[in-house]
Structure 1
Amino acid sequence: MNKIISVLLPFYENKKVTKILRSKLNDLNDSGEFDIIEDKSSINIDILKEKYSETIAIKDKLEDKAKLNVIGITIAVTLIMGSTGLLNNISNKYNQFLIEWIVFALFSVSVVYLFIAGIMAIKVLIDENEIYVVQLKNVINTPEFLNDDYIRCITKNRTKNLLRNNSVYTSYECIRNALVCLFILLILSTLPVHFESNIGKTSDKDVILTDIYYSASLVSNTNFDDLKQSIEETISSAKNKNELVADGLFGLINSDGRVFIKISIKDKAITVLSIESIEKIIQ
């Protein structure tokens, strides 16, 4: 279980390790005790200088890695924020409520991972931008004092480098997790399958026709308001009887059987072309 938490929440593990390292660094500052060496004056000063230089070189390498992380993450986040086409493609392909929420969660988590990775990398460049140097006054003192100072700097710089490495490693772990999420999204997008959901869909007989238009000759009729009410009641009755189920021309007769209404349906829009009296048509 701890392993799973460490993989999914690398920043949580980072926090615990960082706390231990900072406690060690604070203890070194308070006690002034470093590597236990009985006769420090017997150590070759050149060896101490070499070890000291190594800690500075490691610091520079870790900071270079952090800078590369920041640049890569900036580019990645920019590309991700423009990936709405990928998300729409997945949504249209599966058309499933659960899949859409899974896609949203994966996308959000990947962005959060990259954001945290950037924060951890920037932290190396800002919060951990500190080195411990040999004091000039010890250079002119006895070799023992100079050796002590080198050992002090080497020990504290090594601890500081562990802090830097911990943050850089956590940044890489977050990038890894973000890439896994994005890879899953890519797989979902490219799978050669297509699902259709029946939720919210209607059959041809259930198509709702809401837009009604009238020809210019009807609108100009002085009795248009009275005619309009009768026409809409007739059309509504025909819709309820599922008589209007496809595009084309239709003829309707009003409730009292005295008026013939000619309509056209196209793309779910109804156009009333004309109305005539039944008696006039019979004659």
Structure 2
Amino acid sequence: MKIILFSNHRATLSVIDYLNTLGYLEAVVSTDKLRDSHLEIENFCDIKNIHFLKVNKHDLAIRVGKLFTEIQPDVAVMFGFSYRIPASIYDFPRLGFYNVHFSMLPAYGGPDPIFWQLKNGEISGGVSIHQVDKDFDTGQVMMQIALPFIPGETWGIAEGRHGVLANDMVLRFIEQLNKTDHHSINQSNAFSYYKKITVEDLTIDWERQTAVQIECLINAANPVYGGAITTYRKQPARILEVSPVEGKGQAGVVPGTIIHTDHSGLYVQCMDDNLLRINVLSLNEGVVSGYKMVMLGAERGERFEVGQLVATVLDVN
């Protein structure tokens, strides 16, 4: 079997290694967005002498089309690859072209399903392997497994756990591809699509969001987006970790106000009068704990406010 893997995601390294060991892997295709720790994909392919092709959205059709013509792949699998695949490419492999998506499709299609599921307080996610078609994440689902979220887990933890499950699923799916009977799920009904993340999506609205909603947003933004955006002393700040606190706040307090400080951190009242302890936040001066903020002079009565929307680089796979 000849396989081509499309990926920008370092979690696929074990899949790359395994398929290469079996002699199935013919090439790895990545994009010009490959950076940071994900560069390990290119380095690994270089070490293992695996054909590696890096494309941009403008030359993808021509360069990948040439690669497919030369290799004649039986199957292609896309895992963390952000560009749309044209029909001339996804119709080419004999056994199909498939994508790995971190949700239980047809729910939560789109570029960052982990963020939206955590932000919306979902109790379970999952991994789907589906056929690639003309739209994003809309092809027939060939395999999917649910994965419950751990209460309080961050985007990074959830994404890592989904990656481990996805690796196992890809290997199992490839083993099953030669079977003639494939069960699939049509996504024509109940499909939901969530857009690319914006600065507004990352911004805490102290006047409208409850304590639970704020905690969910903060977890969803850590670490991939650098935390949830707010303002402290008229300067931008990003909150990376909070903990819910038992009990209620005080009547008449403006949401976002610090109502208590001690050795464990800052306690902030939310619009539903519930409290959050701020454990870790990022300021222009560095990443600090809530306790260090107290030691540096954070006082009761000060407020976190809705962050001013500033130019922000958003890395969405």
Normalized per residue, the structure richer in helix is 1
Higher strand share: 2
Flag the structure with larger Rg. 1
Higher relative contact order (CA 8 A, sep 6+): 1
Q: Is TM (by shorter chain) over 0.5? A: no
TM-score, normalised to structure 1, is 0.19
